[in-house]
A = this chain, B = another copy of it.
Amino acid sequence: MEKTASVSGAQTIHKAISLLKFIARFSGEGARLIDLVRGMEIGQPTAHRLLQALVAEGLVKQDTSHRYHLGSLVFELSLTSGHHFNLADICTPVLKKLADETGDTSFLFLRSGDDAICLAREQGPYHIQTPVVPVGSRQPLGVSAGGLAILSALSEQEAAAVLKAITPRLVMFGNLTTDRVWEYYLKSNAVGYAAISNRAAPGVKGVGVPIIGEIGTPIAAVTLATTISRMTEERIQEIIPALNEAAEQIDVLLRQF
């Protein structure tokens, strides 16, 4: 995970950005100084000084209980880049291929904190299509197959923090409960993919796999949806390789961009 890259003559930058990436893994609770010092190869005074510098620049924010979070500058920088939009364009061929090969409707979900956003969608040639999630819509992680795939790629600690945060909104999705989502989380991790019946559209079932970014945290998910009767256990086993291949391709596209 830790790249030994580090261009000669800029070790400080390597350390500072490693801190940034490590903080990103504590989404929600935030990271304490000691968490960072223990998790990385860095001295405590050095970490403290670099963090203060990052805070002064706005890349990192420190809350009242001394915990470190990503700062608003990260958000602001990402807005000028337009990556969000381009990602949908770039991934469309992959989604189209996936839909064509399986016959069903394919989706790309993007993580946004405790939520998953449907970024793109493509319909396949099968005579029943289930475009159940509109492009641009947002649901808590764990609700749809895409959100569940992303949630399942988080550590138990992180997933628990997400679940806690989204609990008040879960009731709006077919009376989902925290316990139920936790069951799905465990099952997804056991079988290696996320499968779930759509709460808003009865009779529809989705299957998804996460896309893991450079930091090591899940950043997106690819899913396929069709009717429950069509999405049998047997068929899931057939389409999982196609899903994994699509996820791999999108991962490559992401790194290039």
Contact check, A56 vs B5: say whether CB atoms are below 8 A apart.
Answer: yes
Which chain A residues in 18-44 approach chain B with CB under 8 Å? 20-21, 24-25, 27
Q: Which residues of B contact A20 (CB under 8 A)?
A: 77
Other-chain contact of A74, B77, B254, B255 (Cβ < 8 Å): B77
Q: Which residues of B contact A86 (CB under 8 A)?
A: 113
Residue of B nearest to A26 (CB): B80
Contact check, A49 vs B80: say whether CB atoms are below 8 A apart.
Answer: no
Which chain A residues in 78-132 approach chain B with CB under 8 Å? 78-87, 110-115
CA distance A114 to B89 in the complex (A): 13
Q: Which residues of B contact A214 (CB under 8 A)?
A: 58, 72-73, 76
CA distance A75 to B73 in the complex (A): 12
A213 CB → nearest B CB, Å: 5
Q: Which of A7-15, A177-185, A228-236, A237-245 lies at the binding interface?
A: A7-15
Tell which of A13, A52, A70 has the most Cβ of chain B within 10 Å.
A13
The answer to whether the Cβ of A171 comes within 8 Å of any Cβ in the partner chain is no
**In the complex, per-residue mask of A206-219: 1 if CB is within 8 Å of any chain B CB, else 0:** 00000001110101
Contact check, B24 vs A219: say whether CB atoms are below 8 A apart.
Answer: no
A55 CB → nearest B CB, Å: 8
The answer to whether the Cβ of A247 comes within 8 Å of any Cβ in the partner chain is no
Tell which of A69, A83, A110 has the most Cβ of chain B within 10 Å.
A83
Q: Which residues of B contact A7 (CB under 8 A)?
A: 49, 52-53, 56
Residue of B nearest to A136 (CB): B136
